[in-house]
């Protein structure tokens, strides 16, 4: 009896895996990269939402009881995700934890369609709706502009974002997957402070001991910059639209979900920056 964590090489699944391992709870990381995924020695299987034969193989060999899912970067992801939910449910899974985002709403295109399907299927579920991950700042793209150029380029202007650590999201996910009673609701998973990117740059300047600048771009220049950096037109437009929304304080909010579910407050950005400063300093 195992918990399947999809997105095995992503920001949350490996962290949830470590929490499960520490409690001797059986799990499998599912990744498109299969055994080659960076998994700190965690048991890993090949799982690709777009390849239904990988579903069959996985369920043939293991009894799965709960699944952690996230949005893959494919068009209309809810079509395959809902098909997979039905398949998994027919094969013994009755609890699903979905990592969505601020904009998800029941029935709305995107993760809202999956949320709606979970309710209609009558399974146990929990929808996590985190704000932006602090860990985005140590992903190769942003880590490079901070580490090499001392700059952060965004179209967020002076919008407020309650940045949240993947560590806290993962802890909440761990509870949603393993607590005896399923929550069957959604949780906004937010960090302790609403921060503008100017404030993020200020904290980074303090922690790194050199000036980091937030460069505010308009929509067209932001898309152009992302495409120049190698993103597809589609994905550059998608990310920029999220930033423009954030400039209008779409992300802004407060929530005590992390404290309620884990018993401790969410990590502050200052702590995150201190923990990760060597990454930016290594450039
Ligand atoms: N990053 C943020 O700031 C943020 C904010 C709010 C909400 N979210 C939500 O959090 C979740 C994770 O987002 P993220 O962008 O930060 O990504 P991430 O943690 O880096 O993980 C995304 C993972 O999705 C998996 N994946 C992609 N295509 C797949 C496919 N066809 N089949 C199976 N797995 C596939 C990949 O894992 P493998 O390559 O190992 O298969 C990838 O590592 C998403 O649902 C996103 O909407 C993110």
Q: Is the CB of residue 257 below 6 angstroms from any atom belonging to ligand 1?
A: no
- pLDDT on residue 39: 61
10-residue mean pLDDT profile of the chain (283 residues): values are 94 96 96 76 92 94 95 92 98 98 96 98 98 97 96 98 98 98 98 98 98 98 96 93 98 98 98 98 96
- pLDDT on residue 122: 98
- pLDDT on residue 38: 62
- pLDDT on residue 37: 64
Q: Is the CB of residue 71 below 6 angstroms from any atom belonging to ligand 1?
A: yes
- pLDDT on residue 213: 98
Q: Separation of 40 CA from ligand 1 center, angstroms?
A: 18
Same topology between domain 2-130 and domain 134-162+192-252+267-275: no
- pLDDT on residue 73: 83
Q: Separation of 12 CA from ligand 1 center, angstroms?
A: 8
- pLDDT on residue 104: 97
Q: Separation of 234 CA from ligand 1 center, angstroms?
A: 17
- pLDDT on residue 171: 98
Q: Separation of 110 CA from ligand 1 center, angstroms?
A: 13
- The three-state DSSP-derived secondary structure of the chain is CEEEECCCCCCCHHHHHHHHHHCCCCEEEEECCHHHCCCCCCCEEECCCCCHHHHHHHHHHCCEEEEEEECCCCCCHHHHHHHHHHHHHHCCCCEEEEECCCCCCCCCCCHHHHHHHHHHHCCEEEEEEECCEHHHHHCHHHHHHHHHHCEEEECCCCCCECCECHHHHHHHHHHHHHCCCCCCCEEEECCCCCECHHHHHHHHHHHHCCCCEEEECCHHHHHHHHHHCCCCHHHHHHHHHHHHHHHCCCCCCCCCHHHHHHCCCCCCHHHHHHHHHHHHHCC
Which of 7, 34, 241, 243 to mutate to test ligand 1, by most ligand atoms within 8 A of the CB atom?
A: 7
Instruction: Spell out the domain ranges in the chain.
Output: 2-130, 134-162+192-252+267-275
* Fold (CATH) for 2-130: Rossmann fold (3.40.50)
Q: Is the CB of residue 32 below 6 angstroms from any atom belonging to ligand 1?
A: yes
* Fold (CATH) for 134-162+192-252+267-275: UDP-galactose 4-epimerase; domain 1 (3.90.25)
């Amino acid at each position: 009896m195992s918990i399947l964590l999809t997105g095995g090489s992503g920001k949350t699944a490996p962290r949830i895996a470590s929490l499960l391992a520490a409690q001797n709870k059986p799990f499998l990381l599912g990744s498109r990269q299969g055994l080659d995924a960076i998994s700190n020695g965690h048991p890993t299987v090949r799982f690709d939402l777009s390849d239904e034969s990988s579903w069959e193989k996985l369920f043939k060999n293991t009894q799965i009881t709960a699944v952690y899912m996230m949005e893959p970067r494919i068009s209309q992801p809810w079509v395959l995700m809902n098909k997979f939910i039905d398949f998994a449910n027919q094969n013994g899974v009755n609890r699903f934890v979905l990592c969505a985002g601020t904009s998800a709403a029941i029935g709305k295109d995107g993760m809202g369609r999956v949320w709606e399907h979970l309710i209609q299927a009558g399974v146990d579920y929990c929808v996590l709706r985190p704000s932006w991950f602090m860990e985005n700042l140590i992903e190769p793209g942003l880590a490079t502009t901070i580490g090499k150029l001392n700059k952060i380029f965004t179209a967020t202007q002076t919008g407020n974002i309650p940045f949240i650590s993947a560590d806290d999201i993962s802890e909440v996910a761990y509870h949603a997957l393993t607590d005896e009673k399923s929550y069957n609701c959604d949780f906004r998973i937010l960090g302790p402070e609403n921060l503008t990117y100017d404030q993020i740059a200020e904290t980074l300047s303090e922690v790194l001991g050199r000036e980091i600048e937030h460069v505010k771009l308009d929509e067209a220049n932001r898309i152009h910059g992302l495409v120049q950096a190698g993103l597809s037109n589609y994905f550059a437009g998608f990310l920029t639209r999220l930033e423009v929304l954030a400039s209008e304080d779409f992300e802004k909010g407060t929530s005590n979900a992390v404290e309620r579910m884990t018993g401790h407050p969410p990590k502050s950005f200052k702590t995150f920056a201190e923990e990760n400063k060597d990454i930016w300093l290594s450039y």
